[in-house]
Structure 1
Amino acid sequence: MSLTIQFYTMLSMVGMGAWVGAALDTYQRFLKRPRRNRWIVFVHDIVFWAVQAMFVFYVLLLVNEAELRFYVFVALVCGFAAYQSLLKTLYMAVLEAIIRTVVRTYRLLEMLVKILIIRPIVYLFQFLFTCILLLLQLLRTTSLLLYRLIVQLLLLIWKIILAPLRLIGVIVWKLLPNRVKIFVKKYAGILKKIQKVKGIVLKWWEYIKRWLGGPRK
């Protein structure tokens, strides 16, 4: 093994030691060891150290074809110690900042979805359900002409309510990354089923409209 390869090996193992230290702190931060059962912690620990060992072995394989020497372990320990003494405080501060940012972003998106999508849909269905009940009640007391007028009014209200929802859907679709769009298009089988159901509903609606229009000539 040449001196250059030995130097690269030492340098890479120091870096991997620091990596293991950062990964261990990240693992401890998300595991919340006191709240977990012992057997869960035991399994997680085994998986964690197995993954770290594979990372170290892979880097060693790239650098010197996985030749183990005594200085490899010394370099790992030195990198780990350097991380603990020099970088741990800074890394933990950055990690906490990233976690807070992700949590706040998730909560903001959740609130926007509830306000802009879920609540309007819930209110819309409540409104439609109330209108249907009102129509059933009016069927008993009003004439067919008034009933048809109310149906047309409800269709107009439906289009007015649906327009901003469509606009929001178009804006959200344009803001989505291309990967998400490809995923949605690839697994759009559910949408096809919805289109079939929509076609059936429209067919029955046309049938009801013809029925309300009176007898055929």
Structure 2
Amino acid sequence: MSLDAQGWTLAMMLLSGLGMGLVFDGYRVISNELRFSRWWIPVLDLLYWTAATIIVFRVLFESNDGEVRAYVFLGLLIGICCYFWLFSRPVIALVRWLIRAVRKMLHIGASIFELVIIKPLFLIYRLTRVILGVLAALTIFLFKIVLQLTRPLWLLLGWLLGPVLRPLGRLMAPVAVWWDKGKRVRAVGGFFSRLWKRWF
């Protein structure tokens, strides 16, 4: 392999080491800030190292057709050390600032949503309940007034129709008694029918 190809591979491994350190710090800060459960940590570690291994070997394959040499590991080690020496603290501070900014934006968005959507809907709901309650009370009040005003008319009508309604009521009394007995007979028949179906 030519010297240029080796230098290119070394540079790619150096960048891969920097990327591994960057992703590791970001993942570590996010997991701490979001307070993942302890049993998630081994799973996330496994996912991180699996993804890092696949990406590094993919980069290595694109650089020198996948040839593993000592300078490959040297480039990775130098990249990781340079990252943690020069960039780790600024990256951690930046990731924490981004998390706080996202949380602040979400909080502002939720406040705006509550102010623009939730509170007007709740106000409309309460106003509708008040209006309906007032209309129902007004309707009942007017109905009572109408009943009071028409009560003499109903009394007069009952007094005028009394001679007709009383004989009619006496004529309908046997029918009412028969209907009441018929309902009782049907109820008893239904009871025995249900018993028959349940037992047989």
TM-score, normalised with respect to structure 1: 0.59
Shift in alpha-carbon separation, 1:38–1:121, aligned structure 2, 3 A: closer
Distance in 2 (alpha carbons) for counterparts of 1:66 and 1:105: 44
Q: Which residue of 2 aligns with 1:72?
A: 72
Distance in 1 (alpha carbons) for counterparts of 2:98 and 2:37: 27
Does residue 25 (structure 1) correspond to residue 25 (structure 2)? The answer is yes
What runs of 5+ residues in structure 1 fail to find an aligned partner? 144-217
Shift in alpha-carbon separation, 1:77–1:36, aligned structure 2, 3 A: same
Does residue 135 (structure 1) correspond to residue 152 (structure 2)? The answer is no
Q: Which residue of 2 aligns with 1:85?
A: 85
RMSD of aligned residue pairs (Cα, Å) = 2.1
Distance in 1 (alpha carbons) for counterparts of 2:74 and 2:96: 30
Q: Secondary structure at the match of 1:32?
A: helix
Which of 124-133 and 19-28 deviates more?
124-133
Q: Which residue of 2 aligns with 1:53?
A: 53
* Amino acid in the other structure paired with 1:55: I
Shift in alpha-carbon separation, 1:82–1:122, aligned structure 2, 3 A: same
* Amino acid in the other structure paired with 1:52: A
Q: Secondary structure at the match of 1:68?
A: coil
Shift in alpha-carbon separation, 1:63–1:129, aligned structure 2, 3 A: farther
Indicate the structure whose relative CO is greater, using CA pairs within 8 Å and at least 6 residues apart: 2
- What pairs up with 1:179-198 in 2 under 5 angstroms? none
1:2 Cα offset (Å): 2.9
Distance in 1 (alpha carbons) for counterparts of 2:130 and 2:61: 69
What runs of 5+ residues in structure 2 fail to find an aligned partner? 144-200
Shift in alpha-carbon separation, 1:52–1:142, aligned structure 2, 3 A: farther
- What pairs up with 1:27-176 in 2 under 5 angstroms? 27-32=27-32, 37-142=37-142
1:38 Cα offset (Å): 4.4
Distance in 2 (alpha carbons) for counterparts of 1:3 and 1:75: 15
**How many residue pairs align between the two structures?**
142
Distance in 2 (alpha carbons) for counterparts of 1:100 and 1:32: 13
